Amino acid sequence: MALPSKRPSLSRRTLLRTLGAGALLGGLAGCGVPAAHVPPGERAAADLSATDKRLTWANWPLYIDTDDEDEARRPTLEAFEERTGISVEYVEEINDNDEFFGKVSPALMNRQRTGRDLIVISDWMCARFVRLGWVQEMDRARQPNVTKHLDPQLRSPAFDPGRRFTVPWQSGITGIAYNRRRLGREIRHVSELWASDLKGRVTLLSGLDEAFALLMQGNGVDITQWTADDFHTVCDQVEKQVRGGQIRRFTGNDYIKDLSSGDVLACQAYSGDVIQLQADDPDIRFVVPEEGAELWSESLMIPNLARHKANAERLIDYYYEPEVAAELAAWVNYVCPVPAAQDVLASAKDEETAALAEDPLIFPDAAMRGRLAIARDITSGERVEFAKRWNVIAGL
């Protein structure tokens, strides 16, 4: 496959990902309402894949490669359709995890089809679906590429040991972005966000699930097994910084605008966004603090009663071919969950594309990997209490 000759001009993370209107429904379901849980024997429907060569896939906007000349065309997806004869209805309908939860939860809760064979949501929300029994276990016998090529660091998160129900679509890092020229120094530690020369020019992410892990890491906490006390310690610290005027505001993806304009000098940020910003301003840096940073994923899942499960499993496995994963990584610029794609990119004839193989924000090196960790998710029992406290602090 020919790799693209340019990067996308926009990041797909363009909307707030906060506990907003969907939080109430999500909180209730996340608390384990007995009627909401679906036992294993009630999750599968008759699979029509052998005779009905199609599937419906719900994803986020700007999260797949597009053609240089025609943005309506998706080269990797079209190649899959041509190779397999499977027609894919690709729907860019996921703008917010909680909003999408509210859209599909009534059907899943009531043992009804969602009309979707494949969905992509953030792992902290995947955890909720897995706990509720709303997704089907995948048949790895149909997915040799996933078995062979999935990044070892992503293979067994706490919410889905062995990745039986989920497969990462793309990953990323929540770290610190800053403007080196305007600040006049480097940032290496989370605690430096509270430095006096940054007063009023720092932003934190507003979403609870996006913000807490990095701040805990700044306190030396192992985020794979953090406690409620660790969470409340972070909240106490952030409340103090809010009162003292250190934090300008809490943001969704609009931190991109603040950092670009210079209104903000340092902020919590996503690695993929910063790659895009650096293309226009090389003074913008992204740092994985010495205390560590959170490695997260947004993952593919097959919801209950999907009618084309085998087709969906085949599509997932296709995207784990290193050549296909490389083509996708060259466009979305997040951490590639297929390390073998690095050699494919390195061999690209286009110099800009080949350079992506050396970008540690797409293929983290060993030193960076040593500072990355996957946070344990917020459990159903913790969520209501924690969200209530965090949302007051963040002004949500």
**Predicted confidence (pLDDT) per residue in 130-139, tens digit:** 999 999 999 9
Residue 262: left if φ>0, alpha if ψ -120 to 50, beta else—which one?
left
Strands (E) located in 253-315: 266-270, 284-287, 293-301
Q: How is residue 272 written in tokens?
A: 């993929």
Give pLDDT, residue 24. Answer: 40
Strands 54-59 and 87-92: parallel
For the range 189-198, what are the long-range contacts, defined as Cβ-Cβ under 8 Å and sequence gap of 24 or more?
189/218, 189/289, 189/290, 189/291, 190/214, 190/215, 190/217, 190/218, 190/289, 190/291, 191/218, 192/266, 193/246, 193/266, 194/241, 194/246, 198/246, 198/265, 198/266
For the range 254-257, what are the long-range contacts, defined as Cβ-Cβ under 8 Å and sequence gap of 24 or more?
254/16, 255/177, 255/203, 255/205, 256/11
Max distance between CA atoms of the chain, in angstroms, equals: 65
pLDDT score of 376 more than 60? yes
32-36, 112-116, 137-141, 310-314: least confident range: 32-36
pLDDT band for position 20 (cuts 50, 70, 90): very low
Average pLDDT (39-54) is: 97
Q: Give percent above pLDDT 70 in the chain.
A: 91
pLDDT score of 120 more than 70? yes
How many angstroms separate the CA atoms of 313 and 302, rounded? 8
Spatial contact of 97 and 125, defined as CB atoms under 8 Å apart: yes
Spatial contact of 308 and 302, defined as CB atoms under 8 Å apart: no
* Domains recognised in the chain with CATH numbers: 40-171+296-362 (3.40.190.10), 172-294+376-395 (3.40.190.10)
Give pLDDT, residue 2. Answer: 54
Spatial contact of 235 and 229, defined as CB atoms under 8 Å apart: no
Nearest residue to 48 (alpha-carbon basis) of 310, 314, 316, 315: 310
pLDDT digits (tens, 9 = 90+) for 58-79: 999 999 999 988 988 999 999 9
Give pLDDT, residue 141. Answer: 97
pLDDT score of 283 more than 60? yes
- What are residue 2's phi and psi, to 5 degrees? -80, 130
User: What element of type H or E holds 231?
Assistant: helix 228-243
Q: How is residue 224 written in tokens?
A: 């794979």
In the chain, the amino acid numbered 196 is S
Give pLDDT, residue 35. Answer: 66
pLDDT band for position 341 (cuts 50, 70, 90): very high
Give pLDDT, residue 30. Answer: 43
Give pLDDT, residue 21. Answer: 35
pLDDT score of 34 more than 80? no
Give pLDDT, residue 14. Answer: 39
pLDDT score of 17 more than 50? no
Distances (CA, A) of 214 to 127, 283, 294, 360: 19, 23, 6, 18
Strands (E) located in the chain: 54-59, 87-92, 118-122, 167-179, 202-205, 247-251, 266-270, 284-287, 293-301, 372-373
Is 0.85 topped by the overall pTM?
yes
Spatial contact of 61 and 14, defined as CB atoms under 8 Å apart: yes
Q: How is residue 2 written in tokens?
A: 């020919």
pLDDT band for position 39 (cuts 50, 70, 90): very high
Average pLDDT (246-270) is: 94
Give pLDDT, residue 279. Answer: 86
Nearest residue to 247 (alpha-carbon basis) of 215, 291, 288, 277: 215
How many angstroms separate the CA atoms of 194 and 191, rounded? 6
Q: Give percent above pLDDT 90 in the chain.
A: 87
If 0-12 CB within 10 Å is exposed, 13-18 middle and 19+ buried, where does residue 395 land?
Answer: exposed
How many angstroms separate the CA atoms of 20 and 17, rounded? 8
